[in-house]
Amino acid sequence: MSESTSLYRRHRPQSFDQVVGQQHVVRTLSNAITQDKVHHAYLFVGSRGTGKTSMAKILAASLNCENGGPTLTPCGVCESCTSIAAGNSVDVIEMDAASNRSVDDIRELRDRVAFAPTAGRWKVYILDEAHMLTKEAWNAFLKTLEEPPPNTVFILATTEAHKVMPTIADRCQRFDFQRPSIEQLTEVLTRVAAAEQISIDAPAISMISRSASGSFRDALGTLDQLVSYSGNEVALDDVLEVLGAADADLLFGVVDKVNEGDPAGVLTAVEEVARSGRDPSRFARDLLGHLRVLLVTRTTGQIPEAFAVTAADPDRLARQAKATGPANLIRTIDELAAALALIRDGDEARLAVEVALLKAARPDFDPSSEGIARRLERLEQGTRPAPAPPIPDSGGEAGSVGDAPGRTSPGVPGAPPTDPATEDGKEEHQASEAVSVGGPIGTPGEVRPSGSPTDAAPAPSPEPPGRQPFDLARLEQVWPAVVDSVGGADSGMIASYFEGTVPVEFGEGKLTVGFPADSAFNRRNAERPECRQQLAAAVTAVTGETPQIGYTGLDSARTEVEPESEVMDEEDFIARVKSEFNAEEVI
C-alpha cells in the first residue's frame, strides 16, 4: 500500500488481536471460526468509524488466508490477504448500498452469489450502509440472504439499524459496535504515531482523541491532517489551531470566573475565543466536557483517566472540582446545553454562549427559581461574585453586553438600572436583594439594606468593615427565599409546612415564626425536631446566625399581608409602568 494512502487505511487492523475494543465481537467471531460455526449473515451496527468494515475484512481474511485458513491470525502476506486488504479480492465483494440500492443492483448481486469461490474457500459480501437499500431491493434479496450457497457469508454494516427491515435483521446475527473510549483512541493514536515516527506529546494526543467523538477514523484522519499542517513534529498549539478547540487554561479560567461570579471575566473569555477565530459552539462543547469531568471528580473523589486535556494537571483539576459547588456545576451544564440547543435552532452562537455563561456566573441575572437556589448556595459557601464594572457615561445611554446591541439583562452591564424600591413585595427581588443585587456579596449575613446607594447605582462601593447584623425587617424581606430553601431540593414537603409563615421576633439568638390561624396541620408537622433543624439551617445560610426556633400563632392583623388595592387614574398608571419597567412612551 503506497505511502500516500491515508493513515486510517494504512493502519487498519489486519487480525483480531490487533483490534482495540469491541471484545464481545472479537470473541464471538473467533469462537465461530475455531468451532466451524460461521453464520451465513451478520449485521454490524454502530456509528461511523467504530470498526465495522475493518472487522468484516478481518473475518474475510481469517476465512480465506492461504497459510492455514480458516485461522484467527491471517498472515497478511499471502495473495488472498493482500488482495482483501487492498480491496480487489475476487472472493470478497464490497458494495456501497448508498449508490447500489435498486432492485437491479440486488438482482446482479443475487446472480453472482450462485458462483463458487474462485481463489479462496469462502465468498464474503460486505454491504456497507445497508439501511439505504429500498424496500423492493430488500424483498428481492430476502430469499438469497435466507438460503445462500455453501461457504457464503453476508455482512451488512449500518449506522441506522432501525431502517433495516425486521425480516432481514431476523435472519442475521447482530453485533453492536460501541464507540471507543478516549483511552482506546489514545492507544491507537500513540501506536500509529510511533509507527509513522511522528513526534507528538500526550496533551496533543488527548485533544485529538476528544475531538474524534468516538471514531477511530476521525482520530486518525485528524492526525493525518496535522502531519500535513506541521510535519512530523506536532505540538498542542498545532492541534488547537487546526481543530479550533479551546485549550486547558481557557477552560479552567472560564470555570474560575463563573465560580467567582465575574461576568466581565466570562465575556472576556468568549471574546478571546471569537478573536482567535474559534467556533463559539465548539468552545461550549469543550467546556461541557470539562464541566462533566469536574462533576465526576467532585462526585466520586477521583479524577477520571479518560479526560482529554486537564489530566496533565490533576492537582488543578482537583482544586477546581472542590471549589465548584454541585448546584453551580449542574446549573452551568444546563445553561450551556440549552445554549447549544438554541444554536442548533438557528440562534447566533456567540450571543447564546455569552448569555449562558452570564447566567451561570451571576445568578441575580436569572429571576427563575433555579437562580434563587444558586444564590442561596453561594450564601452557604460564602462565595463572592465580582462586582459589575461601572457603566460608562455616554450621555445617559446605557452600554451593551458583548456584541449584542439592544439585548440587555437586568443587572448586566449595559442594562438600565432599576430602583429596588419599586420592587417591594416581589419574592424574586427580595431573594436577589438578600444575596447579590448591586454588587458582591460577602459571608452569610453581609446583605445591604434595601434603598442603599449601592442598590441604586451599578458601580461598586467599598464594603463596610465587619458583618452587618440581620434584623427582623431584613429577615422579613428574604423570608420567602428562606422558606423555599428549607430542606434543600429533595425536601419540598418540609418547606411546604412553612408556607404562609412570617418571622415575628428575631434577635438575641432566638427566632419566633408565626403560623396563620388555619395552619394547625402545618404547625404540628413543623414541631418535629428534624423540621426545626432544617429551618434553622436555612436561616443560618442566609443570616449567618443559628437561632433557637420558636413558633406562635398569628392574629388576624399579621395575616393580612395584602394591602388594599390602590385606585389609579390613567396618568398615574402610565407613570407607574414607566417607573417599574424603565419604559418610554412612544407616540
Q: Which stretches of the chain drop beneath a pLDDT of 50?
A: 1-2, 308-311, 388-389, 391-467, 489, 556-566
CA–CA dist 256, 291 (Å, integer): 11
Residues of the chain with CATH 1.10.8.60: 182-243
Residue 521 exposure: Cα atoms within 13 Å on the Cβ side = 4
CA–CA dist 259, 266 (Å, integer): 10
Fold of 477-587: GMP Synthetase; Chain A, domain 3 (3.30.300)
pLDDT given at position 564: 41
pLDDT given at position 411: 39
Hey, which CATH number is domain 182-243, 3.40.50.300, 1.10.8.60, 3.20.10.10, 1.25.50.10?
Answer: 1.10.8.60
Q: Of 512, 484, 488, 347, whose CA–CA distance to 427 is shortest?
A: 484
Alpha helices in 125-247 (DSSP H): 135-146, 166-169, 182-195, 202-211, 216-230, 236-243
Give the single-character DSSP code of 303.
-
Specify whether the CB–CB gap between 198 and 234 falls below 8 A.
yes
CA–CA dist 379, 377 (Å, integer): 5
pLDDT given at position 27: 94
Residues of the chain with CATH 3.30.300.180: 477-587
Q: Are strands 233-234 and 502-507 parallel, antiparallel or unpaired?
A: unpaired
Hey, which CATH number is domain 7-176, 3.40.630.20, 3.40.50.450, 3.40.50.300, 3.30.590.20?
Answer: 3.40.50.300
Helices (H) and strands (E) in the chain, counts: 26, 10
pLDDT given at position 109: 80
Record the cell numbers describing residue 146, joined without a space.
435466507
CA–CA dist 140, 471 (Å, integer): 84
CA–CA dist 293, 310 (Å, integer): 9
Question: SS3 for 11?
Answer: coil
**Residue whose entry in the numeric block shows the C-alpha cell 465580582:** 386
Specify whether the CB–CB gap between 270 and 350 falls below 8 A.
yes
Specify whether the CB–CB gap between 312 and 203 falls below 8 A.
yes
Question: SS3 for 492?
Answer: helix
Q: Does the structural domain 248-361 have CATH classification 1.20.272.10? A: yes
Residues of the chain with CATH 3.40.50.300: 7-176
Let me know the angle formed at the C-alpha of 283 by 278 and 287, rounded to the nearest 5 degrees. Answer: 160
